[in-house]
Structure 1
Amino acid sequence: MFTLKNNLKITHFVLLMSCLNFLFFHLPFFTFVFKNLEYKSFSGISIIISLIILMLVLNAFVFYLIFSLSRRVGKFLLVLFFCINAIAVYFVNTYGVIIDESMIGNVLNTKYGEASSFFSLKLIAYLVLFGVIPSIYIFKVKIIKDTWKKFLITISLTLIFILALAFANASNWLWIDKNSKTLGGLAMPWSYTVNISLFYAHEFKKNQKEILLPNAIVKNNEKSVVVLVIGESARSQNFSLYGYDKNTNPLLSKITNVFHFNAISSATYTTAGVKAILDYKNTDELYEILPNYLYRNNVEVIWRTSNWGEPPVHIKNYQKEDVLRPNCKGEGCGYDEVLLTGLKEQIRASTKNKILIVLHTSTSHGPTYSKKYPPQFETFKPVCNSVELGNCSKKELIIAYDNTIVYTDYILSKVIEDLKELKDYKSTMLFVSDHGESLGEKNLYMHGIPMSIAPKEQYEIPFIVWISDNSRQLKANKELTQYHVFHSVLNFLSIESPIYDEEMNIFK
């Protein structure tokens, strides 16, 4: 066993760092392994032992390469790894997240106000114990480098050992490949280092010029307006419209011409979910999204947001909440109700007959659900007020979340009230969430689990429609997807387009 000496040979130092990295940061990794294989069988024992050895040797090997090239750079990177590992493992343990590429996208796109809501003393404790304290030793220790001859022998023998171990486990490759995304998202520090690289590589591809869709034609001059409300983290099972035992939809349930449909999100995180709502089909390509397409084809488009994560929006009237707040009155101005400020007047002031309004809300985003609605909407009590969701009882957590659905119900009813007053327009409101939310089921919280293993709470979403009298009727729709939005909006606004798909339209 190594003692914490101030002078260490490079091989002893990297083995020590690999062991500490393993002990501090890989409990979630091996918890997943034990839960997903028959660990009492010979094959299971073989996989576990091999993964332990492979992780220790691979990390030591990479650390050895870095420190052999530059001790200064090596110390800087190792300190960075330990500090980020500590924060990452806190979120893995507290919220059950997996640090895959989509989660990296969530982290890099998170606003300061949202990120600050995750602050807690437990997070600081993780950072100090597992990040800062080891970093002090890393800075102080003097590392004795190997000669180039010994360096070449060490890396050659290590590579041979790694390859031999990998081929010895050839029979287990299928299990590892099946679970590779989750295993990779829990292996520190490679979960975030590799996935950050993948994220930026894919972002570079996305930032290429968007592919324009074929030109569209407005078929008539009939005044029509669609309000598309994009929900945030709203799961259908907590809406009383969908049979939930608490009355979380006291207003919508009393409004005529309100319909709800079962729907599945295309992803469990915001950027992909919002893109799917705005795309005309399921694709990884950056095609022209709904607001850009309609704006280019002479439709009035207004985007109002208290959220983030949408693809690039190229329209004239893109309005963030801080732009709307100065003209807002009342307690709701600090919440998503601000998005309704002067909306009716803005519609009436339009010189165009076809109008699309997009309201991108953030009402049910965790972890601080109790701060997402005004105090008068705390219909159910007691609520969870802790950022560390695991510290709350499941009942308190769900109650706080339920209150966000009550507030969503109010916002949607206000949208409908405004549209009812626009007698000259045929109007509809579509409410579709970007994804669902976990509230402690299977010890998971919030969202972002890969779709291949995600629980239904993270992808079963509400799809709620209101239509004005004498405007349209709805088909007998069964299960919908987010891709139904694009074609349904085109149909309601009487937009003729070569890419229109009648099967994806919800209106008769």
Structure 2
Amino acid sequence: MKFFNNRFSTNQFTFLIALFYVAIFNIPLFKLVRQGIAQQGDVNYLFVASLPFFLLFSLSIIFSLFSIKWILKPFFMVLTLLSSTLFFAALEYGVVFDYGMIENTLQTNSSEAFTYLNLDSVVAVIVTGLLPALLIYRMNITHKPFFNELLYKLAFILVMALGIGLIGMLYYQHYVTFGRNNDKIKRYIVPIYAVGSLAKYINSNYLQTPLVYKRQGIDAKNISAGTNQKPNLLVLVVGETARSMNYAYYGYHRATNAHTQPFDIIAFQDMVSCGTATAVSLPCMFSSMDRQSYKAREAQAQDTVLDVLSYAGIKVNWLDNDSGCKGVCDRVEYLKVDMSADNPFCDGHYCYDEVLLAELDKHLGLPVSQDSLIVLHIMGSHGPTYYLRYPDAHRTFIPDCQRSDIQNCSDAELINTYDNTILYSDYILAQVIERLKETQHKVDSALLYVSDHGESLGERGLYLHGTPYAFAPKEQISVPLLAWFSADFAADNQLNIDCLTQFATQGGFSHDNLFSSLLGLMNVTTSLYLPALDLFSSCRVDIDKNSLSATN
């Protein structure tokens, strides 16, 4: 091809690659720009026309710093492949790769990652990533002697900087005002924001000196140990990607909670998550820090509520059918479902959540001599392959979306598929409750269910989750919190169920409540316990509300 016979200087290459990134990879950015402009009253169209040039000049300067003879081709080939993935995620799902999303992505297992593969994603990466990378590899790029190359590069940077300066002189106030009113737009600049977030993640997790591990709650004591006729058993089901607006308990028009309806379920209204991705929400909800003060690095270097419960003599088990506990359960008994095992609920890549019921049966069949907490981490409504989360026998709402490129399904099909996952999770909860009722002769049992975060299903052009919290829609942060108590558990632990049912309707709850609520339910005293955050504190009778926080 004649193109490959042409010689390109490093400056020409830099400008061309920057132009490609502006014209292709930043299409999602300009879609948001268009939305922002549409919301303005007066529009200066010359300012609008300057936006792609401003980005082009800026990327040209940044890219010129990496247009060095020995690294130019491998660097931009890798960057283009990465940017192709970022582009597809932003264009099709509205996903932004900030720090939290990068953390979640790097902690995703291979089985989960493969669910995002589909024809659209493969074609997009080939066309916008692989082919351009091969083109870069084949390009004939000439490099001048070192000092000449340096002078030409400095001249190129100066010209680009003059272009930016000229635009700034003419439209500075427009940029300031538009940027202030549309702050989230900067997160869609490919590849700048994602690369910066990746660098921040690497620095925080691999380059900084590890924090000294902090033990906390070692003063914890179980004040109910030996006082009740039977040990307490709490099963905590941690849901995945379940949003509350698709639950009948929260006013949804469909019977997505038909399986648990016969039980006296308490639904805590207006419950919000700590994050919009599992890697953030899961450690945060089990941490003593609230969402505002939560820092992942500090959370990884200190005890969780599971550790505190263990210090109090509570037996803690974590049974996992999802992507792991993200460090939360590192110091308690842990079981990850073997997806490759010969099991009717597994296909070698994933398992239906029913696989956890057999593991729960094993624990319930053991002699119980101490208060216990069993955590079931379910796959729940994990997308985009929602249709793989429930067996055919639970395919209630049809037609459903039997594909992973969910943006190509109709709205009705997508909602049907997602609702099937909610209904199937409800079936799992009902099965757990039935098992707990069968063990009432030997334990006082209770169940809590809470999801880690919600999900977008095409609302406002967004799919999946992971939107930065400051801009996250309610679909991604509104989550269910459900509770069930056996009569003996309520009686022996002084819980007024009528009071609690009424209290749950008040709303205003969040993942911040989980830490103290678990301590309170298990009657654990510690200086870490905060009565104001314990959802059950105000409805406990014949108990000193402050006794649980005594330092002893």
Asked if these proteins are the same fold (TM beyond 0.5), I'd say yes
Partners of 1:208 and 1:318 in 2: CA distance? 24
Task: Give distance in 1, aligned partners of 2:281 and 2:384.
Answer: 19
Cα offset for 1:90?
Answer: 1.6
The aligned amino acid for 2:524 is I
Candidates 473, 478, 492, aligned match of 2:496: 473
Residue 274 (structure 2) pairs with residue 266 (structure 1): yes
Question: Whole-Å Cα distance in 2 between the matches of residues 429 and 29 of structure 1?
Answer: 44
| Aligned positions of 1:198-217 closer than 5 A | 198-204=200-206, 208-214=211-217, 215-217=219-221
Secondary structure of 2:323's counterpart equals: coil
Quote the Cα distance in structure 2 between the aligned partners of 1:38 and 1:269: 30
Alpha-carbon distance change, 316 to 103 in structure 1, aligned in 2, over 3 angstroms: closer
1:35 Cα deviation (Å)? 0.5
- Do the aligned partners of 1:295 and 1:315 also contact (CA within 8 Å) in 2? no
Question: Which of 276, 281, 286 is equivalent to 2:284?
Answer: 276
Partner of 1:33: 33
> Is contact 1:37-1:44 (8 Å) kept?
no
Contact 2:268 2:481 (C-alpha < 8 Å) held by counterparts:
yes
Confirm whether residue 495 of structure 1 aligns to residue 518 of structure 2.
no
1:249 shift after superposition: 1.1
Of the structure 1 ranges 25-34 and 221-230, higher mean CA displacement relative to structure 2 is found in 221-230
Distance 1:44 1:288 in 2: 54
Change in Cα spacing, 1:216 to 1:174, as seen in structure 2 (3 Å) is: farther
2:325 counterpart residue number: 310
CA distance in 2, matches of 1:334, 1:10: 51
Most deviating of 466-475 and 425-434: 466-475
Deviation string 1:107-150 (CA, Å, 9 cap, x unpaired) is: 21111111111212222221222122222321222222351333
Residue aligning to 2:127? 129
1:293 to 308, 322, 325: 308
Residues 324 and 412 of structure 1: is their aligned pair in 2 closer, same or farther, counting only changes over 3 Å?
A: farther
Q: Which moved more, 1:216-225 or 1:24-33?
A: 216-225
Matched, 1:236 2:251: no
CA distance in structure 2 between the partners assigned to 1:281 and 1:431 by the alignment: 20
Distance 1:435 1:443 in 2: 18
In the TM superposition, residue 500 of structure 1 has moved relative to its aligned partner by 0.9
Change (3 A) 1:136 1:428: same
Equivalent residue, structure 2, for 1:194: 196
Q: CA deviation at 1:432?
A: 0.6
In the alignment, is residue 322 of structure 1 matched against residue 338 of structure 2? yes
Q: 1:440 matched to which residue of 2?
A: 458
Runs of 5+ consecutive residues of structure 2 not aligned to the other structure? 540-552
What residue number does 2:222 align with?
Answer: 218
Separation in 2, partners of 1:259, 1:42: 47
* Identity rate, percent: 27
- 1:473 alignment partner AA: N
Partner Cα separation in structure 1 for residue 420 and residue 122 of structure 2: 29
109-118 or 329-338: bigger deviation: 329-338
Match of 1:406 in 2: 423
RMSD after superposition: 2.6
Change (3 A) 1:330 1:37: closer
Per-residue displacement from partner, 1:243-270 (whole Å, max 9, x unpaired)? 2221111121111354443311122111
State the distance in 1 between where 2:340 and 2:265 align. 30
Once the two structures are superposed, the pairs formed by residues 350-429 of structure 1 within 5 Å of their partners are: 352-423=369-440, 424-429=442-447
Q: Distance in 1 between matches of 2:42 and 2:255?
A: 52
Instruction: Name 1:84's counterpart in structure 2.
Output: 82
Listed one character per residue, the Cα deviations across residues 296-323 of structure 1 (whole Å, up to 9, x for unaligned) are 3321000011122634223341000118
Question: Partner letter of residue 435 of structure 1?
Answer: H
Per-residue CA deviations over 1:75-129 (Å, capped at 9, x if unaligned) read: 1111112222222212222212112222212221111111111212222221222
Cα distance change on mapping 1:439 and 1:66 into 2, 3 Å? same
Aligned-partner residue type, residue 88 of structure 1:
L
One-letter code of the match for 1:63? Answer: F
| Greater shift in the superposed pair: 498-507 or 362-371 | 498-507
Supply the distance in 2 between the matched residues of 1:455 and 1:393 (Cα, whole angstroms).
21
Which residue is 2:136 aligned to? 138
Amino acid at match of 1:211: K
- Whole-Å Cα distance in 2 between the matches of residues 422 and 416 of structure 1? 10
- Structure 1: where are the runs of 5+ without partners? none
Q: The residue matched to 1:66 in structure 2 has which SS?
A: coil
Alignment-derived partner of residue 175 in structure 1: 178
Deviation at 1:74, TM superposition (A): 0.8
SS at the partner of 1:359? strand
Inter-partner Cα distance in structure 2 for 1:149 and 1:343: 70
Query: Can you list the C-alpha shifts for 1:26-50, whole angstroms capped at 9, x where unaligned?
Result: 1110110110135887765355334
Contact persistence 2:278–2:453 (CA under 8 A): yes
Query: Partner letter of residue 476 of structure 2?
Result: Q
- Cα distance change of structure 1 residues 120 and 311 upon mapping to structure 2, 3 Å threshold: closer
Take 2:319 and 2:249, find their aligned partners in 1: how far apart are those partners?
Answer: 26
